Chain A
Amino acid sequence: MSEQQRQHVSALADGELDATLVRATLSALGSNERLRGAWERYHLIGAALRSEWIHPECRRLSTRVGKRVATEPITPKRPPTRPAWAFPLAGAALAAGMAFAALVGVPWLFDLRSEAAPSPGLSAAGLPPEQFRLAGPVRWHLDAPALETKLDRFLVNHQAQSPVSGMTGFLPYATLVGYGARR
């Protein structure tokens, strides 16, 4: 692992790597275990600095994926007819897959998504479902502000003048203050 590769991996983790270097850096990540270790550490440090929740299972994710893939039984449906030159390509594809899993899976495990980013369940228009939208309590259920204000005044006066309102609840004005105005 050269210093330049390490700097490229660091820049990739920060999303600051030049686009022309991304392919080569991903290729190096797929083939160099020490680079993948650096990739995980950089994400770990960044998450810690941002006080983000850290999933303990994130460590050596690509290594575990690789081992799991290697131990999976292979049951070919037909005799291998693959030419000899195809095996190096398969290895490269596996390495690229592991790198892709590291790139996609590690940020997910660190919960690095922006809070403002829409979740996959949102509608196409970007609006949340109706039942999830904020809706305050409705005062008086009227669409006449002047009349609502008058009823508010009547209610304040009623509570002030009611001889036993102190008995009908220890805070007779909670209804007034507890309901926000709709308008």
Chain B
Amino acid sequence: MTDVARTPSPGSTRFPVRDMTFRLSPLLFTLVWCAQAFAANPGPAERLARMAAALRSLSYEGTVVYLHGNQLESLRVVHRVEDGQVRERMISLNGPVRTLTRGKGGVTCALSGSRPISVPGQGIGREMFHAVALDPEALGDHYGIHPLGAARVAGRDTEVVGVIPRDRLRYGYRFYLDREHGLPLKSDLMGQRADPLEQIMFISLDLLPAGESPSSAGPATRPPRSFGSARPAPDFLPWRFVSLPPGFVLVMHDDWRDTGGQPVDHFVLSDGLASVSVYVETNPREGLEGGTRIGAVHAVGKRVSGHQITVVGEVPPETVGMVLAGIRPGPGERR
């Protein structure tokens, strides 16, 4: 009886289990190999997510060169994650000394020829501090994310990921991501032409030991919030935006008083990657009329109903112009 049951009838497709396993083993092996290969070679979106995680968790110091136009600058950078908080110090190595420190207390920037600029790190809206996750699906409408091959930067192997805009209203990026740690060792800011507008690249990099970056606790290790998850309610805002550039939404509103005691409303709009700030001041002494820029950062301003409106962002000039043209008095109380 047992022998009969083990013998397949003529024309049957049934095989003994041992035989089936033998026949399926190449397929299983292929599946396992593909899974391993996928894990070892994540896609470009996964690489970008890994980059964001590396920036939030790794400590490093090094020297970068910054090329904008035909100007070449060098900067010393120290980036530490301590108690879950990113602390960064940057100093220019050529020209007049300029420094920037970023930490729990905020950002302090000392430029030559002007008083230091400080932005507090605590308060309404400040918890956003670089803590919003990149959402590849949300980016998909306005950017394409593509692998661009491999390159060697600062003596290390990198995988290059391109974030390529689908229109002329935002810049593109090429990130050269360290194959081992995911840190971006080089970044190209791309305009509409083939040549990068700006390039920044490590020429030396020292990763600090993990013991010096206790990232196991603290806010920086919390999962970053998703893009646009806490948008301000437009009905309560003193200004509103119509006909924004495609993909840009209001993600933050804050207000404070400037050094002269005058109120300032600050709005941040973003498409998930690029962002634009809108500042509304009440009767300031000086204000920007028309457009200007610093590198790839463009600014444009005008007076509206006794208020000075200034739009600033690392976007093409057309984009800041569209945002400025789209601002209107809102239903909320305006000071």
Where the two chains meet, the residues of A that have a C-beta atom closer than 8 Å to any C-beta of B are: 136-137, 139-142, 144-171, 173-183
Contact = CB atoms under 8 A, between A and B. Distances in A.
A164 B273 contact: yes
Given A166-B52, A177-B98, A171 B126 contact: no
Given A177-B109, A180-B112, A163 B252 contact: yes
B64 A171 contact: yes
Interface string B202-220: 0000000000000000000
A167 B292 contact: no
Given A160-B119, A167-B134, A136 B109 contact: no
A139 B114 CA distance: 12
Contacts of A148: 114
B239 interface: no
Contacts of A141: 292-293
A168 B274 CA distance: 7
Contacts of A170: 51, 55, 175, 183-184, 187, 200
Nearest to A181: B113
A178 B286 contact: no
Contact of B55 (A161, A166, A180): A166
Q: Which of B56, B95, B252 has the most CB of A within 10 A?
A: B95
B202 to A, nearest CB: 9
B interface SS class:
strand
B288 interface: yes
Contacts of B128: 161, 163
A160 B105 CA distance: 11
Interface of B: 48, 51-52, 55-56, 64, 66, 68-69, 71, 73, 75, 77, 88, 90-92, 95-96, 98-100, 102, 106-107, 109, 111-115, 117, 119, 121, 125-126, 128-132, 134, 171, 173, 175, 183-184, 187, 189, 198, 200, 227, 251-252, 254, 266, 268, 270, 272-275, 277, 279, 284-288, 292-297, 299, 310, 312-314
B92 A178 contact: yes
Nearest to A139: B294
A160 B277 contact: no
Contact of A161 (B100, B109, B115, B254): B254
Contacts of A157: 119, 266, 277
B59 to A, nearest CB: 14
26 contacts: A136-B71, A137-B68, A137-B69, A137-B71, A142-B292, A146-B285, A147-B286, A154-B277, A154-B299, A156-B119, A157-B119, A161-B128, A164-B132, A164-B227, A168-B274, A171-B64, A173-B107, A175-B296, A177-B75, A177-B91, A177-B98, A178-B68, A178-B75, A178-B295, A180-B96, A181-B113
